Structure 1
Amino acid sequence: MFWCTDTRLDAHDSRARGGAEPPGGWPAVTVIVPARDEAEMLPHSLPSLLGQRYPGPLRVVLVDDASDDGTADVARDLGRQAAGGVELTVITSQPRPAGWVGKVWALEQGLRAVPADVNWLLFTDADIAHGPDSVLRLVGHATTYGLDLTSLMAVLRTQNRWERIIVPAFVYFFAQLYPFRRANRPGARTSAAAGGCVLMRRAALERAGGLAAISGAVIDDCSLARAVKRAGGRTWLGLADHGPCGVRSVRPYPRLADLWKMVARSAYTQLRHSPMLLAATVTGLVLAYLVPPLAAVAGLAELATGAGGVAAAVAGAAGLCAWVLMTVTYLPMIRYYRQPMPVVLTLPAVAALYMIMTVDSARAHHRGRGAAWKGRAYSAPDSDSVAGT
């Protein structure tokens, strides 16, 4: 059931919506935002955090991660302009120690600035905009259901042609790798989170060994979920809503090359830098998404010319059935992203693109470049980056 898109914050539960105050009142929450060269994105995202309608104590800590574009100044200006009562603190990142990836080190510095009496942390990216009731809904959901880590997969942009074609498939394939329902089961080995929006109990993070436990994780979100689960914590991942309670990415991907970088920078890391897993993944993509339409077209073409026999008929029928099946499973994601129905027919072609991107990610790793983002490259294998296997 990985293709279902109904794993979201429960809109029918008044407690999860924040309709009922948790026992002991609304807890204090600190939002930690790692930001590296995000001056262009912050005007579209930071005001949404500073304008939250949260009835408890709420504070935002933005960590300027060695930016060259005036990110810290932009953040301070936005803080002065904010009309809400949410306090903003901007801190400058210290030099990154050996063994830490940039984002996790920035989160760690933000965590050190959080007062000891704050028990809830919201890790969110600088390109994520939050609906005005986002924190309220997240805290309500987490406290109602006794969760230690609550994460939302942000709604990604689908405004240009390449975004409309690539983005729904990106989330579809992520859900296939990390089925939300399975990941949310306490006893399941699969663990997953979406790093753009992660609400954490501080005590659960400490039981999991703190951020130091995932200091070198390129895929920090799934690694964090795995560490929390291993320590006995309960995790939950769902899709964000489109309404005022949801979260969405404001980062544009105007060219195919931009989306290519987004996928390829961590694709081989997800496969644990294993040539065997890479071969298995390529084979799986070919068999699941490319063979069915090719078999359907080839079999039906042979029958149309009169050259085909029973074998051609069986191959064509089997390929057509599999093609229809994959199309049906893709429909919920196309509807979730509010795209025209014909986009569903692009799945085999997009699967081929993702296969090439994954191979390109492996090629970059073996040439010593590894995962790269914002001018930093991480070539060392990340043994704990893939959750759920």
Structure 2
Amino acid sequence: MDDETVADNLRQLGLSEKEIDTYLTILEHGEAKASTVAEDAGVSKRYVYSVSEKLDERGFVDVIDHVVPTTIRANPPEEVVAALTSDLESLQPELTTRYGNVSEQEREFEVIKTRTTIMKRIRGLLERATEEVTLSIPASLLEEVEDELRETVDRGVLVILLVTGDDTLPAERFEGIASVVRVWGENAPLIVTAERRLGLFAPNEMLVRSNAGTQGIAISQAQLVPIIVGSFFGNYWPMAEQVYVTNPDDLPRTYTDFRHAVLQSTLHLEDGREIAISAEARPVRTDDYATVEGRLVGVRQSLLEPTRDTFAVENALIVEIEAADGGGGDGDEGEGEDGDNRTVTLGGEGAFVEDYETKSVTLEPAS
């Protein structure tokens, strides 16, 4: 470690330039008179006495003033470092307590300056996810979060994965670490969201190049994270090639994440299965939830190829119900052939184009 690095580290401990020069001079002598230190450090003798008292209080030196002339002795560096470390460790519990008392409102936005912190935040989001994760990540970093991705999938979380910078990875590479995977040879920003309320964004160069001079941002705000999700599906997902899709779930199963229900509905329909749906839903722009039951007859979605959406990022389930059921949906598909049934559309949280906004969806084989 050169002299400038040593000086930089001492500055971080709160020492001024003159204090650093004085302390390093004392260190070089081990023990010396104030006049000797003053001459070698280029400061006054009075300043040496003043600074030495401060350094003594912090444990850097001992001022030996019970003899004449007064001398100043440097404490062994290992003892100084041990004492400083102990002080910092004793401070941690208090800082942690105060940090834990900060409200979520105060932590809605966090600027992230290092790649190490970015990767730590990705792992944290994956570990906390209970329903849905979207992740755009450079192929070179995939291995660093692979274990967390596998654990997330094992918990039954929907994981939508976009791998960028390499479009040659084989399908078997993704077995068990995602629900749907697309690859794109171009570089794209890092994007992570969990449960539509926690998000992380960072420029690609921050992750693949050291000293890029760029920063990332973490967001914890339910009103803004869906915008990041929309950017993921609207701007980057369509550009990539689908390489892996999970197998259909065993039914019956209930989904509180609507996108997950759409994915599984699509997979079962593509396999030619008849599926019955029971959804806790409410007609859009109303407050009263009720049960909507019927037969799944179609899906509008942009998750899987071939997509069947009528506008960007659309996700909807088309359900045939008995005409007397449904509690107020107008339906957009007309009556069934026998005139007794009609079709309605179910959307997810915040739906306004579909007939119903759903809270949960249960899929089961039709009897």
TM-score norm. by structure 2 comes to 0.23
Higher RCO (CA < 8 A, seq sep 6+): 1
Q: Which has the higher helix share?
A: 1
Which one has the largest radius of gyration? 2
Q: Which has the higher strand share?
A: 2
TM-score norm. by structure 1 comes to 0.22
